Amino acid sequence: MKLLLNDNQSFMILNAGRQLITNEANWSLEEDKIKQLLEDKIENQKIKLLNYIEARKQNNTLSDVDKLLIKYLDYELQEKIKSQVRINMYE
């Protein structure tokens, strides 16, 4: 997948409509720390993605692939991108 897509595009595919299913009542303290680290990592990737999309928009280099991948992200992340970057998906 990395041969065709950059890191941000790969992240968008890997997180398209992703829903985490857990049974938190059985997690130990160490597992909670791991879960928090993973959540922090995903949040950092989202920030990196927002910066990537904003930079591509400002440089008029936002590709059709980027726009397509944004459409398949989960709704919350799509809306965050649309509001913060002020991107029109139908341009």
What pLDDT does residue 21 have? Answer: 57
C-alpha–C-alpha distance, residues 60 and 65, integer Å? 14
pLDDT tens column, 21-79: 555 555 566 777 888 899 999 999 999 999 999 999 999 998 889 988 998 999 999 88
pLDDT over 60 (residue 2): no
Q: What share of the chain is helix, strand, coil (3-state, %, to 5)?
A: 65, 0, 35
Highest mean pLDDT among 8-12, 50-54, 78-82: 50-54
- Cα–Cα distance for residue pair 52/43, rounded to 1 Å: 14
Higher pLDDT, 6 or 23: 6
